[in-house]
Structure 1
Amino acid sequence: MAELIWQPFGLTADRREVELWTLRAGRYAAQVLTYGGILRSFTVPAGEGERDIVLGCETLAEYEAQDKYLGALVGRVANRIGGASFDLNGTTYPLAANNGPNCLHGGIRGFNQAVWQAREENGALVLSYVSPDGEEGFPGRLQVRVTYTLTADGVLTLDYQAESDADTLCNLTNHSYFNLLGHACGSLKGQQIQIWADAITETDENSTPTGILLLVENTPFDLRQPMEFIQGLAMEHPQLTLGNGYDHNFILSCQPRSPMHLAARVTGGGLCLECYTTQPGLQLYTANYLDGTPGKEGASYGPRSAFCLETQAWPDAVHHPQFPNVVLRAGESYHQRTAYRVTSF
């Protein structure tokens, strides 16, 4: 069971109070902000004593100024909705086009900019947020809870739950940027990625899924055996060119699974990070569009200085009936879980 400590972290530009919660268990510690549910740091035991492996900002103002979703919870719908609209029960719902023609990560003011309510519960941190009917164009009043737990053996778990009073869409994830050499390292050199997936969802020039599933065999996306990030990124493939690197949904399953299964493993710098999830997809993103974002302790985060493992339903699923369903019916419960386990070797 983790020890929880909270402290103020300042006021947003519109004067909302933000808290910083620290979970400590053994030699591990995680900091979570009520602004955006942001995982601000994840400090783990390493050769030099301890190492913070999550990118983050020094101040709340810096978080508000950046648009890279550093460490944030994203929703109502993670990733892209093509055409920034969808049809549900015979009604068309227009959304904000904040990523070319797409609605990305819930719109202009998604869950990453909400101030969540926090409470301690049995050694865990529970964040809750009520998204009103019509927020960012989505129907239904959606009640969301995300529970963070940390154990002394290095497992950080995010448990997502939601209910709506009307049919809506729901696909939640966390957008933490990891670097196993340390948040300020600036490079993915020396780190290997492995993902248990036989295919990815193909995207077009706008990063919108086409509906086609591409087998990973004989491509840079064949990460079924460990591969250096740098090696994969140096390969030539039309999908890598379109994404400016890895920014793709890997197909873990055609349906959500329970219990959690091992989705990905990253090693480097004497550390191993394993990602377990109940979700059917994993978006691997190699921070291709970080652009000198100011970070903690004076760091500056540039392109390809970190990786994201965004567990999720497949992007743009509402427009592809063959994809796992992201419709949350009124009165039903949304429940997904993801865990990041960090060990040293």
Structure 2
Amino acid sequence: MPGDPHPCHDDLTVTQETAATLPDGRRVTRWTFGSARHVTVEVLDLGARLQALHVPDANGRRANVVLGCDGVADLLGEAAYLGATVGRYANRIAGGVLPLDGATHHLATQDGGHTLHGGPDGFATRLWDGVVVRSGRRVGVRFRLHSPDGDQGFPGALDAEVTYLLDPAGDLSISYRATTDAPTVVNLTNHAYFNLAGERCGTVLDHLLRVEANGYLPVDARLIPLGQVEPVGGTPFDLRGASRIGDQLAAGHPQVRRAAGFDHNWVLDGTGFRRAAVLVHPDSGRRLDCLTTEPGIQVYTGGHFDGSLAGRSGRPYWAHAGIALETQHFPDSPNRPDYPSTVLRPGEEYRSTTVYRFSAE
């Protein structure tokens, strides 16, 4: 119920309320957790979705820094991916073809005949089961979803879990787990679009972006990786030093033109939990460090926004209104044996963790 508080350590609190009602009568629940003096997070059980993130700037002024919508029609339609947990397979699988253990599975498709983010009825449009959780000084919400065998064409029944936890310092961790009863593929990520100026404040072209990667995956006209990892040196994809996003997109590179900006996978340096990217808005001083266990990060600069979708502030979202930093395995990995495997088998557990660390400078 609205205003039902769950007190937490270090002044971190959680409240729960009904945010909307689906066409079939089921209620969509919103949890809000954090500190009124620092970072506050809003998540929905529809799509296990990060709906808002209120973060202070260098002068302590708070703003919501992720794009989001309230209307159910938007959340089930044009805004389905905004902030959502996407799967069973994030990103693209070419032609909806999944070869696995000598068999070929034909997946549900969209996006020009490909499977994108798990198919037309992927995890982003599902109502997950959510509960409040605490871990030490951290507080948040854990979501669970059962995906039956054959869901969108994927083999094996999958039990998925995503946990959002915020600590008093402003670190938001997103941890994923999954198990299966038959061999399948899994690749989960969060699809938040960030604008550190505030979700109502224009584009991210003035943001500075750094990506800890020496290589990236060029794509064809369908935005499917061509295959080989290419070095970033001498291209707009060289973000090893902080670079103004607008300058990189204006460079006229064929790959940038093809994707109307960035919509590419960077092959991250190193292994284990480490920093993947840093995003800074110089005017506000807000800084986001993205850390992950994943081998890649899909950077998407939102070139498809055309003003037809309005955010929670009522302002329309135009091209480059936000930037997605999607930590994940590589696109089309099931069809690329040379890429890190996304296969999950019975008795194994899929695990992945990403942290969004907020600060001001």
Structure 1 distance, partners of 2:256, 2:131, is 42
After superposing on structure 2, the runs of 4+ consecutive aligned residues of structure 1 that deviate more than 6 Å are none
Counterpart code for 1:157: S
The residue that corresponds to 1:162 in the other structure is 178
The residue that corresponds to 2:51 in the other structure is 40
The residue that corresponds to 1:153 in the other structure is 169
Gaps of 5+ in 2: 1-8
Aligned-partner SS, 2:240: coil
Q: Give the deviation of 1:60 after TM superposition.
A: 2.7
The residue that corresponds to 2:72 in the other structure is 60
The residue that corresponds to 1:7 in the other structure is 17
The residue that corresponds to 1:263 in the other structure is 276
**How do residues 323-338 of structure 1 correspond to structure 2 at under 5 angstroms?**
323-338=339-354
The residue that corresponds to 1:235 in the other structure is 251
The residue that corresponds to 1:312 in the other structure is 328
The residue that corresponds to 1:171 in the other structure is 187
Q: Residues 68 and 290 of structure 1 are in contact (CA less than 8 Å); yes or no, is this contact kept in structure 2?
A: no
Q: Give the deviation of 1:317 after TM superposition.
A: 0.5
Q: Give the deviation of 1:297 after TM superposition.
A: 2.0
Counterpart among 271, 276, 280 of residue 295 in structure 2: 280
- The superposition leaves residues 287-335 of structure 1 with CA deviations (integer Å, 9 ceiling, x where unpaired) of 1101221110212111111100000001101111110000111121000
Structure 1 distance, partners of 2:306, 2:200, is 14
Q: Give the deviation of 1:10 after TM superposition.
A: 1.7
Structure 1 distance, partners of 2:205, 2:265, is 22
Aligned-partner SS, 2:248: helix
Structure 1 distance, partners of 2:261, 2:108, is 25
Structure 1 distance, partners of 2:95, 2:160, is 26
Quick one: structure 1 residues 15 and 237, their matched pair in 2 at CA, closer, same or farther if it must change by over 3 Å? same
Q: Residues 249 and 282 of structure 1 are in contact (CA less than 8 Å); yes or no, is this contact kept in structure 2?
A: yes
Aligned-partner SS, 1:311: strand
Q: Residues 155 and 340 of structure 1 are in contact (CA less than 8 Å); yes or no, is this contact kept in structure 2?
A: yes
Q: Give the deviation of 1:85 after TM superposition.
A: 1.1
Q: Mean alpha-carbon deviation: is it higher for 199-208 or for 51-60?
A: 51-60
Q: If the length of structure 2 is used for normalisation, what is the TM-score?
A: 0.92
Q: If the length of structure 1 is used for normalisation, what is the TM-score?
A: 0.96
Q: Residues 31 and 43 of structure 2 are in contact (CA less than 8 Å); yes or no, is this contact kept in structure 1?
A: yes
Counterpart code for 1:307: I
Aligned-partner SS, 1:211: coil
Q: Residues 205 and 320 of structure 2 are in contact (CA less than 8 Å); yes or no, is this contact kept in structure 1?
A: no
Aligned-partner SS, 1:210: coil
Structure 2 distance, partners of 1:340, 1:226, is 17
Structure 2 distance, partners of 1:236, 1:165, is 47
Structure 2 distance, partners of 1:288, 1:322, is 29
Aligned-partner SS, 1:83: helix
Q: Mean alpha-carbon deviation: is it higher for 230-239 or for 9-18?
A: 9-18
**How do residues 215-226 of structure 1 correspond to structure 2 at under 5 angstroms?**
215-226=231-242
Structure 2 distance, partners of 1:238, 1:23, is 43
The residue that corresponds to 2:4 in the other structure is none
What is the aligned-residue identity percentage?
37
The residue that corresponds to 1:195 in the other structure is 211
Counterpart code for 1:11: T
Aligned: 1:17 with 2:24: no
Counterpart code for 1:115: L
- The superposition leaves residues 36-55 of structure 1 with CA deviations (integer Å, 9 ceiling, x where unpaired) of 01111000112362111000
Aligned: 1:71 with 2:104: no
Structure 1 distance, partners of 2:109, 2:76, is 20
Counterpart code for 2:261: G
Quick one: structure 1 residues 253 and 88, their matched pair in 2 at CA, closer, same or farther if it must change by over 3 Å? farther
Structure 1 distance, partners of 2:249, 2:212, is 18
Q: Residues 9 and 60 of structure 1 are in contact (CA less than 8 Å); yes or no, is this contact kept in structure 2?
A: no
Gaps of 5+ in 1: none
Q: Residues 107 and 136 of structure 1 are in contact (CA less than 8 Å); yes or no, is this contact kept in structure 2?
A: yes
The residue that corresponds to 2:100 in the other structure is 88
Q: Residues 101 and 206 of structure 1 are in contact (CA less than 8 Å); yes or no, is this contact kept in structure 2?
A: no
Counterpart code for 1:87: P
Structure 2 distance, partners of 1:287, 1:198, is 23
Aligned: 1:183 with 2:183: no
Structure 2 distance, partners of 1:67, 1:185, is 18
Q: Residues 68 and 79 of structure 2 are in contact (CA less than 8 Å); yes or no, is this contact kept in structure 1?
A: no
